[in-house]
Amino acid sequence: MVSEPMYDPARTYQDNFDNGPFGLFASPDVLTQTGDPQSTFLGHPVYLPFGIPAGPLLNGNFVKAALDKGYDIPVYKTVRTHRYPCHAWPNVLAVKVDGDLTTANNHLTTAPGYSQPLSITNSFGVPSFDPDFWQPDLASAVAHTHKGQVVVASFQGTLNEHGSAADYIADFALGARLLKETGVKILEVNLSCPNEGTANLLCFDTVRSREVVDAIKNEVGDLPLIIKCAYFADDAKLKQLIQSVGPYIQGISSINTISAEVRDAAGNQALPGEGRLWSGVCGASIKWAGLNMVARLARLRDELDLSYTITGVGGASNATDYLDFRSAGADAVMAATSVMWNPALASEIKSQVLDAVAQ
């Protein structure tokens, strides 16, 4: 059973941005947390290393609601150095997935409604407003944190049709500089996005990823930097990336989504527009991939004698899932799809996990 979503797929992105969040996230209730936090995330005390990854928290109003509802590590939605449009509506659709979403099971049809176990496709195109909006908006969200909480800000560079690779890298550095000015304590760079290099995702291009990380760290210094990665099918390529950037970053968040072909019941492309037959799928059907990446990142951390923090993302929807990710090696866990329809998830997990520890 699912409740009224805090992001409403029946409304446009702009409508959600202007009027959301909805459902329980719109209530003024604040989860009371007492005592001293017993965990940390990149040096910041937190009651539970659980939060919401980049995506559902469109602006400061969403982040503030997440903080009030007990999500101790919310991530402000990915921003750019300039305004960037959203894909056409619809942007979120429920999909039918029989078991796990894999390369052998990635031709999907839409589902008539949102029910558990829930998987969705989301296709937004990483929209962003200008820094003139998001800088003060993010600063306000950061100021709203309660004891035992920390806000993370996600960002990415933007390809310029006539720009060079150097321009692209410089745009990442500018984004980092603009974010640092807001007072946010942790940055997350989205490497699971298109680039102009040899691969369609930046995290698959080790050379360019290292150049981007270097440029960002030159701007932000000791400010903790997380990289957001997609699922790697190839162990050797994952190790190559970690060997290259692992010594210079403070955290890795994985995974984002897994790509699938999505059609409606009549066999037509479900999401309108060129290039949207294939889109990212998240939710219960990708939990296996999130756990798999966490375990491999933990193994590489030990093998390469590195110290990055691992954030497990993908399919977490209850306390058991949270503990599964922690057992696999995650230092923190985040949930997006499940939280959209169950805004009380943080308090539910805390009531089981923290209360069990206290007994």
Separation of alpha carbons 91 and 15, rounded Å: 12
Give the pLDDT confidence score for residue 228 in this predicted structure: 98
Domains of the chain from N-terminus onward: 13-358 (3.20.20.70)
Q: Say if CB 281 and CB 309 are below 8 A apart.
A: no
Q: What is the pLDDT of residues 13-48, one digit of tens each?
A: 999 999 999 999 999 999 999 999 999 999 999 999
Residue type at 296 in one-letter notation: R
Is 264 a residue whose pLDDT tops 90?
Answer: yes
Q: Say if CB 40 and CB 3 are below 8 A apart.
A: no
Give the pLDDT confidence score for residue 143 in this predicted structure: 98
> Measuring CA to CA, which residue among 122, 125, 124 is closest to residue 282?
122
Average pLDDT over residues 220-234: 97
Separation of alpha carbons 284 and 78, rounded Å: 23
Give me the count of residues in the chain: 359
Give the pLDDT confidence score for residue 38 in this predicted structure: 94
Is 267 a residue whose pLDDT tops 90?
Answer: yes
Give the pLDDT confidence score for residue 200 in this predicted structure: 78
Residue with tokens 């979120």: 92
Is 197 a residue whose pLDDT tops 50?
Answer: no
Average pLDDT over residues 87-93: 97
Separation of alpha carbons 310 and 300, rounded Å: 11
Q: What is the pLDDT of residues 146-195, one digit of tens each?
A: 999 999 999 999 988 777 999 999 999 999 999 999 999 999 999 997 65
Mean pLDDT score across all residues of the chain: 95
To the question of pTM greater than 0.85 for the whole model, the response is: yes
Give the pLDDT confidence score for residue 219 in this predicted structure: 97
Burial of 271 (0-12, 13-18, 19+ CB in 10 A): buried
List, in sequence order, the alpha helices (H) in the chain. 13-19, 60-68, 131-143, 165-180, 206-220, 235-245, 287-303, 319-328, 337-341, 345-358
